[in-house]
Structure 1
Amino acid sequence: MAQETLQLLVAMHRIVRHLRRTRTTTVLHPTQFLALMLIADEQPIRIGEIAARVPCSQPTATTTVAALESAGLARREQDPVDGRATAVVLTDAGRDMVDASGRQAAEELAKLLRRLDDDDRELVLRAGSVLSRLADGL
């Protein structure tokens, strides 16, 4: 099993690297991109939660959110649950970037998947939901 898990890890990294290289809709650092996608899914979200879920350190999350704010992709607002805290939400430009990046990444991955036969493609797509549940539990 160790060899199979290593093979899966290496393959996932290679595919993600390929998708990052082909992405033209964003020039964000990978941590910024992950944070932006997380904000889109969970907004409003506190910086501490971003740090825990990306994962990265709290200072890195703070710097990342500041960079996203400077780029006009996110903004801090008063937390609706605790008015003493702040939460991060997407701006319209951030939503546009998430939408465009998601479409482009899906199109690039679809190109890769077309190289597989129907059975293997179906297997990979089914594994995607399992891997998503695994990632959600991190």
Structure 2
Amino acid sequence: MDPALGAQLLSAIARLNRWANRTAGVTESVAAARLLAVIEELDETRIGDLAKADNCSQPTVTTQVARLYDAGWVAKQADPDDARAVRVSLTASGRAYLAATRAARAEAVRPRLEQLDQRQLATLTEAVGILEQLATPGSSGDASTINDYAEGRQA
């Protein structure tokens, strides 16, 4: 395997994501959409666990969550296991915003996909399945989950 493959893959994905955000006219913070997606993955989570899962400091996530809360995209509730902690989850409005953002980004990519021939589309379809496998915790022999990261069980 080419040792540069991982770097090339991640660079291409990052460039495609940035391009899709610009082309789709994502008007809200890209960081907000990313954090909403992490909250969706974790379901209902504590701010500290969210910070670990998103690889951010707790004060940064606290500020971002406050903005999401003010926008009506997340709900906050007391943690039943720790009165000092707050748990956050997506609201219906947050789920709708995340779905609309994803749909706009997908629509931005559609014209480029339509330029591909059938062989390229088949290859890309297969590659997307492989990327999903790579991105899915617990696949490919990786026993970790996003909750493992959130709870500090992974480096």
Cα pair 2:24 2:107 within 8 Å, conserved: no
| Cα distance, 1:12–1:24 mapped onto 2, change above 3 Å | same
Deviations 1:34-56 (A, max 9, x none): 11112233321221222222222
Deviations 1:99-138 (A, max 9, x none): 2112112222333222222222222222223323323436
Compare CA radii of gyration and give the structure with the larger one. 2
Cα pair 1:19 1:108 within 8 Å, conserved: yes
Segments of 4+ in structure 1 off by > 4 A?
none
TM-score w.r.t. length of structure 2: 0.73
TM-score w.r.t. length of structure 1: 0.81
SS of structure 2 residue aligned to 1:89:
strand
* Root mean square deviation, CA, Å: 2.2
Partner Cα distance (1:59, 1:12) in 2:
28
Number of the residue aligned with 1:24 = 25
Number of the residue aligned with 2:76 = 76
Alignment of 1:44-83 (within 5 A): 44-79=44-79, 82=81
Number of the residue aligned with 2:12 = 11
Aligned residues: 136
Number of the residue aligned with 1:121 = 121
In the alignment, structure 1 segments of 5+ residues that lack a partner are none
Partner Cα distance (2:66, 2:59) in 1:
11
Alignment of 1:32-47 (within 5 A): 32-47=32-47
Partner Cα distance (1:115, 1:53) in 2:
36
SS of structure 1 residue aligned to 2:45:
coil
| Cα distance, 1:134–1:116 mapped onto 2, change above 3 Å | same
SS of structure 1 residue aligned to 2:88:
strand
Partner Cα distance (2:124, 2:136) in 1:
18
Q: Share of identical aligned residues, percent?
A: 34
In the alignment, structure 2 segments of 5+ residues that lack a partner are 138-145, 147-155
Partner Cα distance (1:132, 1:53) in 2:
18
